[in-house]
Structure 1
Amino acid sequence: MAPHPEFPAITVYKDVYPGIDLDTRLKDAAKGKVVYITGASRGVGESTVYAYAKAGASGLFITARSANVLASVAESARKISTSVAVEPYGLDITDEKAVGESVKKCIEKFGRIDIVISNAGYMEKWKKIGEANPDEWWKTMTINIRGTFNVVHHTIKHLVAAKGYAVLLSSFGAQARMLGASGYQTSKHAINRFVEFIQVEYGSDGVKVFSVHPGGIVTELALNEPSIVELLQDKVEVASHSIVRLTSGSEDYLSGRFVSCTWDLDELAKRRKEIEEGDLLKNRLDIGSLTDPLQS
């Protein structure tokens, strides 16, 4: 039996399409919302700040280790929307106590958190396990898993209060087994499962959560592995605009699942019944024909 495919028959976009256009379909999609974003100084995080500002968010609490760069991002966001309040905050998400303090500051500033975007991440230089730098390998795990846990741990009660949204950045790499990528791809696979746990534990409280592949985007993080750069041809806005749509209320049926920001979300919605009845877009062990009894 051939292995089950891991890529759905869904139209893929490399740039903004009508379903995620902030000027039309998603105009005011985040109106009045308070959004907490990590890794907001560049790449997908920076683009997401601008997308929520344009979509009408009232408050943006933006964090990254590069506090000086955040100030510039905040200023750019204010130019996009004169009504949005932006609070930049220097933060290392691996510092659990510092994450807790940042959440307190956000609540003091805005009174609530409606949406959390856990975007900060890291990728080690790709080498086979026996040749890898152990400190680099574990740095990937610490930032991508522990850091994400810290963010969810400290924001989840506020998302319960708001019946809000969490978006955790994953990757199609979570399903791949590329030589040398054991740290990064394992960490992203773990993120997918972590999202499923959030759904199990807090879905009944009204929290919606998604694990997303942002697309193949050239970022400073991706440049850490030159071998994949030629594969990265997607615009960063396909990620940030799709994230706005996922937290707008129209895609709540995808909560607890993996979603690629490059997928046509309108086309995917037409297959909602398949997704829900088959409990698709989740991590699971494929046992294939082993479901059938052994024939003597």
Structure 2
Amino acid sequence: MPAHPENISITQYHDVYPGIDIDTRLKDAAKGKVIYITGASRGIGESTVYAYAKAGASGIFITARSVADLETVAANAKNISPTVQVEPCAVDVTNAEQVGESVRKCVEKFGKIDVVISNAGYLEKWVKIGDSDPDDWWMAVVSRGAFNVIHHTVKHLVQTKGYAILVSSIGAQIRRPGASGYQSAKHQLNRFAEFVEVEYGSEGVKVFSIHPGGVPTKLATSEPSIIPYLTDKPELAANTMVRLTSGSEDYLSGRYVSVDWDLDELAKRKKEIEEDDLLKNRLDVGSLASAL
């Protein structure tokens, strides 16, 4: 029996489509919400700030290692929506104390947190395990960073019945020689999202682990072998996150979702997804599930 495929049969997009258009379908989808975003100084994170500003968020707390870059993003967001308040804060997500302090500042400033987006990323040099740098391989920005962010924000998400998004990758479903650090870390994020759902779903928290598309960011283009696959616009991921946290896709909580997927088409298979508990990490035992 051949292995089951790890991608689904569905229409895929590389740019904004009607189902995630903030001017129409998602107009005011984030109205009054407070958003906490890591890795917000450029690329997908930057685009996400603008998407939430456009969708009516009242407050956006943005973090990255460089506060100067964040201030530029904050100014741009204000140009998009003069009513939004944007608070920049320099944070190293691998430092639990810094993350905790930033969350305290966010709540002090805005009074709550409705949406948390763990987007800070890192891409190690892709070489075989025996040739890799152990410190790089452990991908602290991805794994520890995501843990620190959820650890310090989840109690606030319980209070607001809010949302968390972990930016994973389609790489979580791939075994490419040389990419064991990155792809293992992204696979871990998918399982971590499942645990957040298991532990906090009953308290109203919704969580998604997403593939943000193949976007030609500065980080992604540092690995030459994947450049031909970087064909997606950052707005595809940003607008999809707005929709995922709007309340219409709560049935996908605890699951892996690719922003390339047509969410309206996916919703037609909601019953199948829920009944078979699909889009989660699972050991495929195939025919071994049946006795001899």
Partner letter of residue 164 of structure 1? G
Task: Tell me what 2:66 maps to.
Answer: 66
- RMSD (Å), alpha carbons: 0.6
What secondary structure is seen at the aligned counterpart in 2 of 1:168?
strand
CA distance in 1: counterparts of 2:156 and 2:133, whole angstroms = 38
> What are the within-5 Å matches in structure 2 for residues 1-296 of structure 1?
1-138=1-138, 140=139, 142-294=140-292
What one-letter code is carried by the residue in structure 2 that aligns with 1:195? A
**Equivalent AA in structure 2 for residue 123 of structure 1:** L
**Matching residue's letter, 1:143:** V
Give the 3-state SS of the residue equivalent to 1:113 in structure 2.
coil
Mean Cα deviation higher: 217-226 or 88-97: 217-226
Q: Secondary structure at the match of 2:142?
A: helix
Deviation, structure 1 residue 277: 0.4
Shift of 1:121: 1.1
Q: For the residues of structure 2 that align with 1:102 and 1:24, how far apart are their CA atoms?
A: 33
Count of residues paired in the alignment? 292
- Deviations for 1:219-245, whole angstroms, at most 9, x for unmatched residues? 111122111011110111110000000
Task: Choose 23-32 or 223-232, whichever is displaced more.
Answer: 223-232
CA offsets 1:125-144 (integer angstroms, 9 cap, x no match): 10000111222212x2x111
**Cα deviations across residues 164-201 of structure 1 (Å, max 9, x unaligned)?**
00000000100100010000000000000000000000
Shift of 1:273: 0.4
Q: Which runs of 5+ in 1 are unaligned?
A: none
Q: Give the % identical residues.
A: 69
Where 1:143 maps in the other structure, the secondary structure is coil
Give the 3-state SS of the residue equivalent to 1:51 in structure 2: helix
When normalised by structure 1's length, the TM-score is 0.98
Structure 2 SS opposite 1:282:
coil
Query: Does the 8 Å contact 1:124/1:224 carry over to 2?
Result: no
- Unmatched segments (≥5 aa) in structure 2: none
Give the secondary structure class of the aligned counterpart of 2:120: coil
Q: The residue matched to 1:100 in structure 2 has which SS?
A: helix
The secondary structure found in structure 1 opposite 2:141 is helix
1:115–1:166 contact (8 Å) kept in structure 2: yes
Q: Structure 2 CA distance, aligned partners of 1:117 and 1:42?
A: 14
Q: Distance in 2 between matches of 1:221 and 1:155?
A: 26
Q: TM-score, normalised by structure 2?
A: 0.99
